[in-house]
Structure 1
Amino acid sequence: MTNEHAHQSLEKAEEESSLHRLMLEILDAAGIHLNGNRPWDLRLLDDRVPERVFTLGSLGLGEAYLDGHWEAERLDQFFERLLRAHIDQRVRPLRLAFHALRTRLLNRQSLRRAWKVGEAHYDLGNDFYEAMLDPRMTYTCGYWSGGAQTLAEAQEAKLDMICRKIGLERGMRVLDIGCGWGSFMGFAAERYGVSCVGVTISREQVEWAQQRYAGLPLEFRLQDYRTVDERFDRVVSVGMFEHVGRKNHRVFMEVAHRCLANGGLLLLHTIGKNRRDMTPDPWVDKYIFPNGDLPSVGQIGDAADGLFVIEDLHNFGVDYDKTLMAWHANFEAAWPRFRERLGERFHRMWRYYLLSCAGAFRARDIQLWQWVMSREGLPGGYRRPL
């Protein structure tokens, strides 16, 4: 080895040692030990992990996990501690600046690009989601706070709460923007005697829902919400606004406004972030929800300005932690059926997704809101049903 090569090797070793010490320091601030023996401690299996983390932030951390370069017995507890200590705000690599700039400047949820998440995420296979979700295939936060004991009970409690919040009555016509597999529409038709139109960008969701709810007054459309122009007594959107994007928040509200009859109510159920200047997580953007963009309270308020009166805002984000843990338990129990088809890297990716999100909700880093809005304000005011 030449002197120059020896010098370069020494510099690299010193840099790796420095990054290792910095990672120890940051993890310690979150109460996490490197190579400790507690369930939330990070076990380092490859010395390149610190460099990947400080180069690419959460993207580097997540990709290193997919590669099997580190482990934690309880990923949910690891992320809860990491996010409670706001470690994500201390590691902001310059290489991710383009991701943040692109989010702010470009419309990543245009009419053409909006279909990508349907193909990448929701069309993984209906049998896969049947194994993970409740019998109604409800892929949004359940409501456990009312005493639900099972995932199915929590989801039906949530669906019934939505119906009561918007005052559904027999014979009403409802629009569901981002209807998924039709869980709300099916529940509302069966229990409250309404008819519904649902739009989604997932072909597999439409096919499944049409078969499941054949015979009910429900219409499932493979259609972008921006092209809907009909009047309905009520409008709901449950777990879809996260895909709308900040450049389209106002457009979404304009669509809801033109589709909602006078005296009607809009219910918006969405995950949200605590600060409007937060950038979508690059790992989630790349591997789970392409072009996703969580809204803030302020961004939703701006979008509704002059179009709607905010009648009610309900935060039950802590219930998403329990929902995600239930999905994770179902996923792990069913995994042997999907191992050959999806592979071990997908297994690690999906586990990381579910448990990191559970930790984020537990740490109150992200929220789950239900907004109730009216066009002109309800005479006498709105009373949230108990």
Structure 2
Amino acid sequence: MAPRGASRLVDELGTLLLGAPLPLSVRCWDGSETVVEGAPTLVVRHRRALRRLVHAPGELGLARAYVSGDLDIEGDLYTVLSLPDQLPARPDLHVDRRALARLGGRLLGAGVLGPPPAPPPEEARVRGTRHSVQRDRQAVSHHYDVGNEFYRLLLGPSLVYSCAYFPEPTATLEQAQEAKLDLVCRKLGLEPGMRLLDVGCGWGSFALHAAARYGVSVTAVTISAAQVALARERVADAGLAGRVDVRLQDYREVDDGPFDAIASVGMAEHVGLAQLPAYAARLHALLAPGGRLLNHAIARGPAAGPDRPDPGSFLTRYVFPDGELQPLATHVRVLEEAGFEVCDVEALRRHYALTCRAWVRNLEQRWDEAVRLSSPGRARVWRLYLAGSALAFEGRRTGVNQVLAVKPGGDSRLPLRRPDWSRTANRDRADDGDSTSS
């Protein structure tokens, strides 16, 4: 039987959006429904969801409808988000306004037309010069200052918000995050007495690991006030206050180099293409001759070219205001032009897909608590963002890489042959006699 009422209208809008019939069941506010056997269900709770799509015909309208709760999904979210990938030509989720106008009479009859609904309060609003220190603080605050307990629920006890390193696919998230922290320490060649700069330190997990396991002195900087508060608390609880200095400070404001090693893990994505040369030059200036830099960053595929952020994208409006992804080649070029010698590159794309799926599981398993700690809209933002990110890594649209570089002029102590970075040194497991390798 052909669908009736609002569900029929939703089917037609879905066809315009995907360029193919909507392969989902649909249930609408007026009680009408379309059933596709075995498929997830798109629940349109309010006609306002379609009004959002009319005024922002594409990804932004859909995101606003989902984040606000006007639109919901019953069934597997990954299946719904992967639908565009199943089509012959992956669409950009954009509705042609002329095609939309042809449904004008139907939209009017369904009560869909009207003034644009206010965006959900979780939508970012940043002001000022792009990638200035002041605007970067606003952008970082939007993403990170949403409640430390929410992030503890999402990330787990490790409180590490970057790609984990899975010794094996069955490893737990905590095991994989510890393996990643140790991987970075070993690539940097950390030894007792060294000075380490942790750029974009988050909640201090890497700084704590490096200080406790490798005996280094760490300067850890972030521009998130919430992160600083919890990182300092964790440092004090670990008895490492004399060895780890956590600062509310932009990396551009650090002036007490040189450091023997620098780690930048999951921070370069916030810098922006125009600022990357200055970013690389600043880290080069802060590093001692012979010192190592580990730059860990998400990347776009080389064929895609530099990212030009779409102001109407879900990620820009709700997740990473002003965030920009560059191809791996751009990161390597910028580091070399700043005077670094690039010594090692490791791709961790598949590891990040596993990481994102683990975070989604954490969120879904404690959904009611996540909502209480943030807001219904914020929890929805993170569920959509992380599930979509997992699919992007699995689909090779996005990658993540660790680039190890050395500042010439001193003894970097790099071995003649490339080490097996994946092998955890026995001394790091001396407490339980175990060692991890892949």
Q: What range is the shorter-chain TM-score in?
A: 0.7 to 0.9
My pick for the range that moved more, 38-47 or 276-285, is 38-47
Counterpart mapping for 1:344-355 below 5 A? 344-355=376-387
User: Given that residues 58 and 95 in structure 2 are in contact (C-alpha distance below 8 angstroms), is that contact kept between their aligned partners in structure 1?
Assistant: yes
Aligned to 2:432: none
CA distance in structure 2 between the partners assigned to 1:205 and 1:119 by the alignment: 10
Counterpart mapping for 1:129-208 below 5 A? 129-146=151-168, 149-208=171-230
My pick for the range that moved more, 75-84 or 50-59, is 50-59
Aligned to 2:19: 25
**SS of equivalent residue, structure 1 residue 357:** helix
1:159-186 superposed Cα distances (whole Å, 9 cap, x missing partner) = 1111111111111110011000111110
Alpha carbons of 1:34 and 1:335: their partners in 2 closer, same or farther (altered >3 Å)?
Answer: closer
**SS of equivalent residue, structure 1 residue 180:** coil
Are positions 1:279 and 2:308 aligned together? Answer: yes
CA distance in structure 1 between the partners assigned to 2:11 and 2:76 by the alignment: 27
Residue among 343, 363, 369 paired with 2:375: 343
**SS of equivalent residue, structure 2 residue 308:** coil
Aligned to 2:418: 383
Aligned to 2:64: 63
CA distance in structure 2 between the partners assigned to 1:90 and 1:64 by the alignment: 14
**SS of equivalent residue, structure 1 residue 220:** strand
Matching residue's letter, 1:181? W
Matching residue's letter, 2:230? W
Matching residue's letter, 1:160? D
1:297-320 superposed Cα distances (whole Å, 9 cap, x missing partner) = 232133223321211111111111
Question: How many angstroms does 1:279 deviate by?
Answer: 3.0
Aligned to 1:98: none
1:267-299 superposed Cα distances (whole Å, 9 cap, x missing partner) = 011111112243335211111121111122232
User: Given that residues 20 and 50 in structure 1 are in contact (C-alpha distance below 8 angstroms), is that contact kept between their aligned partners in structure 2?
Assistant: no
In structure 2, list runs of 5 or more residues that go unmatched: 1-8, 27-35, 98-127, 423-438
Matching residue's letter, 1:69? L
Aligned to 2:81: 79
Residue among 255, 258, 261 paired with 1:231: 258
User: Given that residues 53 and 62 in structure 2 are in contact (C-alpha distance below 8 angstroms), is that contact kept between their aligned partners in structure 1?
Assistant: yes
Aligned to 1:124: 146
Aligned to 1:297: 328
My pick for the range that moved more, 135-144 or 78-87, is 78-87
Aligned to 1:218: 244
My pick for the range that moved more, 280-289 or 167-176, is 280-289
1:67-114 superposed Cα distances (whole Å, 9 cap, x missing partner) = 4335252222333443475625474879xxxxxxxxxxx962111101
Alpha carbons of 1:362 and 1:93: their partners in 2 closer, same or farther (altered >3 Å)?
Answer: farther
Alpha carbons of 1:21 and 1:280: their partners in 2 closer, same or farther (altered >3 Å)?
Answer: same
CA distance in structure 2 between the partners assigned to 1:237 and 1:39 by the alignment: 42
CA distance in structure 2 between the partners assigned to 1:64 and 1:305 by the alignment: 44
My pick for the range that moved more, 301-310 or 235-244, is 301-310
Identity of aligned residues (%): 35
Question: How many angstroms does 1:65 deviate by?
Answer: 1.9
What is the CA RMSD across the aligned residues, in angstroms? 3.0
User: Given that residues 81 and 363 in structure 1 are in contact (C-alpha distance below 8 angstroms), is that contact kept between their aligned partners in structure 2?
Assistant: no
In structure 1, list runs of 5 or more residues that go unmatched: 1-14, 95-105
Matching residue's letter, 2:334? A
Are positions 1:366 and 2:398 aligned together? Answer: yes
**SS of equivalent residue, structure 2 residue 160:** coil
Is the helix fraction higher in 1 or 2?
1
Alpha carbons of 1:22 and 1:295: their partners in 2 closer, same or farther (altered >3 Å)?
Answer: same
**SS of equivalent residue, structure 1 residue 302:** helix
Asked which structure has the greater CA Rg, the reply is: 2
Alpha carbons of 1:206 and 1:24: their partners in 2 closer, same or farther (altered >3 Å)?
Answer: closer
TM-score after normalising by structure 2: 0.73
User: Given that residues 24 and 33 in structure 1 are in contact (C-alpha distance below 8 angstroms), is that contact kept between their aligned partners in structure 2?
Assistant: no
Alpha carbons of 1:261 and 1:92: their partners in 2 closer, same or farther (altered >3 Å)?
Answer: farther
CA distance in structure 2 between the partners assigned to 1:348 and 1:120 by the alignment: 15
CA distance in structure 1 between the partners assigned to 2:211 and 2:45 by the alignment: 52
User: Given that residues 17 and 93 in structure 2 are in contact (C-alpha distance below 8 angstroms), is that contact kept between their aligned partners in structure 1?
Assistant: no
Matching residue's letter, 2:290? G
